[in-house]
Amino acid sequence: MTSRILVSGGGADAAVQAARVALPLAKEIGAAVEAVLVGSAAPDADSQLVSELSRLTDKIHFFRVPESTPLTGAPLADALERAAADGAGLLVLGDHHFSREAAARVALRLGGPCSSMCEAITATGDGDIRIERSVYGGVALGAFKLEGSPAVCVLAPGVSAEVEGADAAADVVVHDLEPTAAAQALVKTGEEVLPRTVDLAGAKLVVSVGRGFVKPEDIAMAEELATLLNGELGCSRPIAEDFKWLPQERLVGLTGTSVAPDLYLALGISGQVQHLAGIKGAKVVAAVNNDPKCPMTRNADYVLVADLYKVLPALLDELRSRGNGG
Partner 1 sequence: MRIIVCAKHVADSTEIRYDETSAQPVLNNVPTKISDYDRNALEAAVTIKEQHADCKVEVLMVGGAAAQKTLKEAVAMGADLGYLVEGGWEDPFNPLISARVLTRAIEEMGVPDMVFCGAYSEDGYSGVTGAAIAELLGLPYLGPVTAIDLTEEGLVGRLPQPGVAWSVGAQFPCVLGIDSAMNVPRLPTVLQTMKVKGDRLRSLSLADVGLVAANLHADLPGLRLEHFMSGAVQRKGVRLEGSPQEMVSELMARLAEEGVLA
Q: Which of residues 64-83 bind partner 1 (CB under 8 A)?
A: 70, 72-74, 77
> Which among 95, 119, 138, 134 has a CA at the least distance from the CA of 276?
138
How far is Cα 28 from Cα 16, in angstroms, rounded to an integer?
19
Judged by beta carbon, residue 252 or residue 254, the one nearer partner 1 is: 254
* Three-class secondary structure of residue 93 per DSSP: strand
Interacting positions 117-176 with partner 1 (CB under 8 A): 117, 130, 132-148, 154
Asked if residue 308 lies in contact with residue 269, where contact means CB atoms within 8 angstroms, the answer is: no
Q: Which residues contact 322 (CB under 8 A, 6 or more apart)?
A: none
Interacting positions 294-313 with partner 1 (CB under 8 A): 298-307, 310-311
Judged by beta carbon, residue 23 or residue 155, the one nearer partner 1 is: 155
Least Å from the CB of residue 184 to partner 1: 9
Stretch that binds partner 1, among 18-26, 53-61, 84-92, 115-123 (CB under 8 A): 115-123
Least Å from the CB of residue 58 to partner 1: 26
Interface with partner 1: number of residues (CB under 8 A): 97
Asked if residue 56 lies in contact with residue 27, where contact means CB atoms within 8 angstroms, the answer is: no
Least Å from the CB of residue 144 to partner 1: 5
User: Is position 47 an interface residue for partner 1 (rule: CB under 8 A)?
Assistant: no
Least Å from the CB of residue 307 to partner 1: 8
For residue 251, the 8-state DSSP code is: B
Least Å from the CB of residue 126 to partner 1: 13
Interacting positions 226-285 with partner 1 (CB under 8 A): 229-231, 240-242, 248, 254-255, 262-263, 272-274, 276-277, 280, 283-285
The three-point CA angle 192-177-31 to 5° equals 100
Judged by beta carbon, residue 22 or residue 183, the one nearer partner 1 is: 183
φ, ψ (nearest 5 deg) of residue 245: -80, -25
Asked if residue 211 lies in contact with residue 268, where contact means CB atoms within 8 angstroms, the answer is: yes
Least Å from the CB of residue 26 to partner 1: 22
Asked if residue 237 lies in contact with residue 275, where contact means CB atoms within 8 angstroms, the answer is: yes
Asked if residue 33 lies in contact with residue 163, where contact means CB atoms within 8 angstroms, the answer is: no
